[in-house]
Chains A and B, each alone.
Chain A
């Protein structure tokens, strides 16, 4: 499943895309420790696979939370840490 967590408001669209079929098979889940804002967490999904998601209380403030990584101009720390190539950004 492709899960898009985030939002759109008047200022733009801010979604983090997680391909849960890729991350169900991922052992290290490096994104969790790589994110300085600890946006990522694991959960058993509705089909009992352990997948990564974005913390529920962080989903509506992604533009704020990710602004440090985004402002640096480099590849985001989570994307860098993800060996499954399961994370993407909409902005």
Chain B
């Protein structure tokens, strides 16, 4: 049984090809301004990596915000459903999923059987999303990838106040002028996000097996700040950006 999943995110489009419960190929491309084109291209790259021909894929399922635009799949699944399928496949006993993307964050609490107990979404304010980290990296004149390492090298507990991306940019610049190090500022930025996510966690209830999926999962500084705030370890599965695409492919196999 060969299935595929495409996760059309606001920033990146991801694809995963699965055969009999194993991921054979995956790919990622920036969505930019044509979600449909990005989905087509990323699908082809993933197929090539898997060594699978398009006509051999029995079912393709689309997820992510762009599923309203990308209409050539055999089915679709919402973001929460795909995240749950993918996260439970990667970490079988996870009970809380933090799905952070460029434009929003979801916290999903699961029952023991893997069904959704409740979830919280914030996609109306950029303050708890990947975009926030990117904007702060720009203000610090480092890359988004460097944010994690800078933050881990912090030497003091710097607190930042601004909650809004626009105001936080000015705050970061004034902190630089005040001779704070970029390491400490990066830490302060991550602690701010962690505190905002913590309130979402509190609303769904605190559990023990956290899994973080989505792009910002690569940011070790952020993950370390979140574990500190929640007082729990957070597992970031391998290929954290592809979890929802994988979830869509699993859903495709389960629902023929």
Contact = CB atoms under 8 A, between A and B. Distances in A.
B82 to A, nearest CB: 22
Contacts of B163: 7, 9, 60-61
A68 B122 CA distance: 18
A11 B197 CA distance: 13
B177 interface: no
A16 to B, nearest CB: 15
Given A60-B161, A60-B163, A64-B195, A9 B125 contact: yes
A68 B202 contact: yes
B202 A11 contact: no
A75 B129 CA distance: 31
Contact of B198 (A9, A11, A57, A64): A64
A11 B125 contact: yes
Contacts of A68: 202
B199 A57 contact: no
B199 A11 contact: no
B124 to A, nearest CB: 3
B203 A71 contact: yes
B209 interface: no
Interface string A44-84: 00000000000001001101100110110000000000000
Nearest to B203: A71
A11 B161 contact: no
B255 to A, nearest CB: 32
Interface string B129-153: 0000000000000000000000000
A81 to B, nearest CB: 21
A21 to B, nearest CB: 30
A9 B161 contact: no
B199 A63 contact: yes
Contacts of A61: 163, 195-196
A9 B199 contact: no
Given A57-B161, A64-B195, A64-B196, A10 B125 contact: yes
Contacts of A57: 161
Contacts of A70: 203
B124 A9 contact: yes
A9 B164 contact: yes
A68 B200 CA distance: 10
Contacts of A63: 199
Contacts of B161: 57, 60
A64 B196 CA distance: 6
A68 B205 CA distance: 10
Contact of B203 (A7, A10, A67): A67
A87 to B, nearest CB: 20
Contact of B122 (A7, A11, A67, A71): A11
Interface in A2-25: 7, 9-11
6 contacts: A10-B124, A63-B199, A67-B202, A70-B203, A71-B202, A71-B205
Given A7-B163, A64-B195, 14 more contacts: A9-B124, A9-B125, A9-B163, A11-B124, A11-B125, A61-B195, A63-B199, A64-B198, A64-B199, A67-B202, A67-B203, A71-B202, A71-B203, A71-B205
- The 4 A-B residue pairs with the shortest CB-CB distance in the complex, in nearest-first order: A10-B124, A64-B199, A10-B125, A67-B199
